[in-house]
Amino acid sequence: MTSKFKTIFFIIIVTILTSSFILKNNLIDSYTIDELRTIYSSGDASKWPAPNLHEDIAEGYIEIEKLPKIKHPKTNPYSRAKAELGKHLFFDPRLSASKQVSCASCHEPQLGWADGKRVAHGDLQQTGKRNTPTLINIGYAKSLFWDGRAKSLEEQAHGPIENPVEMNTKMETAVKNITDIKGYAPLFIDAYGNNEVTEERINKALATYQRTIKSTRSKFDLFIDGIENEYSDEEVLGLHLFRTKAKCVNCHNSPYFSDQKFHNLGLTYYGRFYEDLGLYNQTGKKEDVGKFKTPTLREVAKTGPWMHNGLIMDLDGIMNMYNVGMARPKRKNYEINDTLFPQTSYLLEPLKLSKKEKEAVEAFIKTLSSRTAGIEIFLELPKN
């Protein structure tokens, strides 16, 4: 009995030792996982292994790193009073026609500043065509909306206020509604010196407030800043794959995890019910059909469903789609000579990631969320 026990014990020990030896020497691009952990958490991104970039992307590539300080434009400098006014306006449904819909109805702080819906539901529950993007870190965005049709937050605000399926009003009506609320006067005086309510003042205050909506430090930020135990082995592997074999950094790069460019992922639904021509609607150029702005991946785990049309319900699904090189719709006979037929980006091709590798990339993108479990905004809106 004892000798049988000894043999079993011996076999268990040998199995543990050999498997840990195999695991330790399971090299990824000639690195062990411990070496990758040390390099990536060294605090010096110039020591990281080279990213796997297409030659068109290599020039001007900006590494994924921690977020720099936000810049407020000279034409609309930061002031606390202006941000405070903007915050009240952001949460105030009285900017809308029905006085029922505020910016926060769709950009809900507790839902990652998005709305958790496939597409937005606005005034009188009318549905829009596109998924609501998060506003976290929006101060870093160079253009706004999925098709980049607004160039600044100041310019952007009238969009949702006037959009018939969002707040469904006219800027003049919004200005009048706010002027009529006496409780706003002190906020305008603090921000601008007098109580005059104008469209420009509303837009500037909303923009200033939105530039204050930022992620706190995520697991990723802590890990690359030197806290080496912040990541599991799987997350270390995921970070490395994100920059190398999975090629995600070709588009999701810079501290904002977006190249701020437009790409076609094959989701145009050309000629079908969900058709959305994206950037083409702005530029009229045939090569822009079906291109959408690369979204930030910071906080992305909180902002599903995903993509411009909100048709993707889970991150596994996204990984499976990237792994096969995304969708490449085929032309039907009658589309052979159609010059608008959308072209999926040449930057996407099958990745040959194993199941374990796909899971690692997914585990990594989940580390881009900051820890705040739920943000609650306490605010009393000004009275009439």
Contact residues: ligand HEC, CB under 6 A: 101, 103, 105-107, 120, 122, 128, 130, 132-133, 135, 138, 141, 144-146, 153, 156-157, 160-161, 166-167, 206, 210, 246-248, 250-252, 263, 265, 267, 292, 294-295, 297, 300, 303, 306-308, 318, 322, 345, 347-348, 361, 365
Closer CB to ligand HEC, 6 or 151, in the complex:
151
Beta strand 262-263 pairing with 292-293: antiparallel
Shortest gap between Cβ of 17 and ligand HEC (angstroms)?
35
Closer CB to ligand HEC, 109 or 133, in the complex:
133
List the end-to-end C-alpha distance of the chain, in Å, as a whole number.
Answer: 87
- Separation of alpha carbons 104 and 91, rounded Å: 5
Shortest gap between Cβ of 148 and ligand HEC (angstroms)?
8
Residue 122 exposure: Cα atoms within 13 Å on the Cβ side: 22
Closer CB to ligand HEC, 227 or 301, in the complex:
301
Shortest gap between Cβ of 6 and ligand HEC (angstroms)?
49
Closer CB to ligand HEC, 148 or 222, in the complex:
148
Shortest gap between Cβ of 139 and ligand HEC (angstroms)?
10
Shortest gap between Cβ of 337 and ligand HEC (angstroms)?
25
- Residue 262 pairs in a beta bridge with 293
The radius of gyration of the chain's CA atoms, rounded to the nearest angstrom, is 25
* Cis amide leading into 49 (omega within 30): no
Closer CB to ligand HEC, 163 or 232, in the complex:
163
Q: What angle do CA 292, 154, 107 make, to 5 degrees?
A: 60
Closer CB to ligand HEC, 23 or 313, in the complex:
313
Range 186-212 burial, b when 16+ CB lie within 10 A, else e: ebbeebbeeeebeeebbbbbbbbbbbe
- Separation of alpha carbons 258 and 242, rounded Å: 13
Contacts of 41 (CB under 8 A, 6+ apart): 223, 224, 225, 226, 227, 228, 230, 231
Shortest gap between Cβ of 49 and ligand HEC (angstroms)?
16
Closer CB to ligand HEC, 161 or 222, in the complex:
161
Q: How would DSSP label each residue in 5-47?
A: HHHHHHHHHHHHHHHHHHHHT--BTTB-HHHHHHHHTSS-GGG
- Separation of alpha carbons 302 and 369, rounded Å: 8
Shortest gap between Cβ of 14 and ligand HEC (angstroms)?
38
Shortest gap between Cβ of 18 and ligand HEC (angstroms)?
33
Contacts of 83 (CB under 8 A, 6+ apart): 205, 208, 209, 211, 212
Closer CB to ligand HEC, 38 or 52, in the complex:
52
